[in-house]
Amino acid sequence: MTVIDLGELAEPTDPPPPRRRRPAGNRGLPAALVALATLLTLAGAAPPPARVHAAVPAGLGSDVFLAEGQIFAVTPLPGVTDGRQELTGYRWPERATVRPQRLTPLWRVPVPTGRQIVAVQPVSADAVLVATLDRFTTTGSADTHTLLLDPHTGQELWRAPGIATIDGSGRALVRTWPVDEPLVLRAVELASDRELWSRSMPAAWVDYHERDGMVDAIVVSTVVGDIEVLDPESGKARHRLPAPDDLVGYQQASIVGDLLLVVRNSRTVTAYDLDGLTRRWQSVVPLADYVTHCGALLCARGNRGGGQLLDPETGVVRWSSPEDVDVMLAGDARLLGVDRGTGDAGKVVAIDPETGQASTDYGTWHLVSHDGYDRHLFGVQQRPDVGLLLARLDPAQARPRISDVLFGATGNCQHRYGLIACRRQDGDIGVWRLPD
């Protein structure tokens, strides 16, 4: 399942509390340093070898979206100063070259005035979804639209208000994102935009449960605290969970596996079976705002960082992590956490999932952004006059695995579908095929 989503639209939070000083972990990285020295020596002694890489002509103020088989760039129109932009489609680079290839556009289409493209996702060989947000909304709502384009020509096939979620069913689930008005949730046929069903509800939160690559349940939480599980085929309610009498404020729900996990009043986490909404357990977890999966455990996190790790079967708190450490990736034997109290870069540490103790210091890295949960975590470090050093951060490994040097790159990196894209020293966007 592919999810095109805006994430949580919320007011800025208060500044984080002061960081606590903790004993440093193992700072010795001999193998990593040897690998780094070897790579940089080779980089300085000889020209870089041929590889699959390219330069996308997308200067400052541009955005790049990596998709399967294509690259999309949103760039300001040349010669204008009023903020108008265009969307350009490119094919992936496929041949190895010493110098980065200059990609040739397949097509260019103007972006509607006053709108910002926030996601681009192909759905088939003949269709690509584009999600847009009104940059000049003054009503407090998020005025969103989804467009279906022909990826070969950029021609618009249809558009609908809201943000779309797609799976392998041939339909899109499209929801609007209002603040003071009822949310509208629709199922439409991807090929034609024919409406299959529609529901209007005072919803505050919508999530989707996937099974075998298909959305098999829609979970809706209303502004008054009710939770419903809807059938994606018909939009009808399968199960309903009334709001508890003691709900006095914050409520957030999330789906992890076959559990519905509801955080209420920022202090209790209650687990329900998604099928039937039978209560499994309830745990008191102070300052928890939402729950995600952390390998075999659950992470009850706070918006200011840190949180507790829970047993998914019982809700028992195994241990707590410091306020300034976020768990980023979970393996079978340990977790990777990042201390974000060091500026843009973060100190990455390995954490024992049974005790919460930091066992290894992986060093300080700028993490490479990616969509959703990914079992690959990459970090980069700047090397003056060379580019970026790329490392794979893996909880199964005792230290970072230095894997590449991205020549001429400066930062602002993202990865998806085996590609990594970073801003280059010349202002364009560089795209590299990740090593195996």
Q: Encode the chain in three state secondary structure.
A: CEECCCCCCCCCCCCCCCCCCCCCCCCCCHHHHHHHHHHHHHHHHCCCCCECEEEECCCCCCEEEEECCEEEEEEECCCCCCCCEEEEEEECCCCCECCCEECCCCEEEECCCCEEEEEEEEEECCEEEEEEEECCCCCCCECEEEEEECCCCCCEEEEEECEEEECCCCEEEEECECCCCCEEEEEEECCCCCEEEEEEECEEEEEEEEECCEEEEEEEEECCCCEEEECCCCCCEEEEECCCCCCCCCEEEEEECCEEEEEECCCEEEEEECCCCCEEEEEECCCCCEEEEECCEEEEECCCCCEEEECCCCCCEEEEECCCEEEEEECCCCEEEEEHHHCCCEEEEEECCCCCCEEEEEEEEEECECCCCCCCEEEEEEECCCEEEEEEECCCCCCCEEEEEEECEEEEEEEECCEEEEEECCCCEEEEECCC
pLDDT number for residue 180? 67
Are 304 and 326 within 8 A, CB to CB? no
Pull the structure tokens for residue 325. Answer: 């450490």
pLDDT in tens, 45-60: 455 678 999 999 888 8
Place of tokens 């918006």: 303
State which residues of the chain have pLDDT below 50.
1-35, 38, 40-45, 138, 140
Amino acid at 116: Q
Closest CA to 181 of 146, 228, 140: 140
Angle at 147 between CA 141 and CA 148, to 5 degrees: 155
pLDDT number for residue 47? 55
Phi, psi of 141 (to 5 degrees): -90, 165
pLDDT number for residue 21? 38
CA distance 64 to 72: 6
Are 143 and 126 within 8 A, CB to CB? no
At a CB cut-off of 8 Å and minimum separation 6, what does 176 contact?
144, 161, 162, 183, 184, 185
At a CB cut-off of 8 Å and minimum separation 6, what does 65 contact?
71, 72, 73, 74, 117, 119, 120
Are 249 and 266 within 8 A, CB to CB? yes
